[in-house]
Amino acid sequence: MNWCLVLALCLGVAMALSFDISAGDQLCFTEEFPSHTMVVVEMSSEKDSGNLMEISVSISDPDKKIIYNKYGVTEQSRYVFTAGKEGDYGKFPPPS
């Protein structure tokens, strides 16, 4: 186990959510963060019937302003941001 992870868990400052999404499915959720919280979003895709699946994601702040929008992610990808204000941050499929 990674020592940084152990330290973060002991201090109570780390939380992780993980989702498995099938091809063609959509997932929307919100999570409340205090201001000045560092948030790390990691995405990866797997092959489905020999084809690499693409992931598209949009993240909005408590004011519903889109702070991240990415289409067609096929490799492991990471997005890090600091919550500028307290409130619900949302993950949604990108707007069409």
Q: Which fold has domain 3-92?
A: Immunoglobulin-like (2.60.40)
CA distance 71 to 93: 9
Question: b/e string for 41-77 if b means 16 or more Cβ within 10 A?
Answer: beeebeeeeeeebebebbbbbbeeeeebeeeebeeee
Instruction: Going residue by residue through the chain, which has 96 residues, state the pLDDT in tens, using 9 for 90 and above.
Output: 334 333 343 344 566 777 777 777 787 888 888 898 888 888 877 776 767 777 788 889 999 999 998 888 777 888 888 889 999 998 876 665
Domain boundaries, the chain: 3-92
Q: Rg for the chain (alpha carbons), in Å? A: 15
Q: What is the pTM of this model?
A: 0.70
CA distance 19 to 31: 14
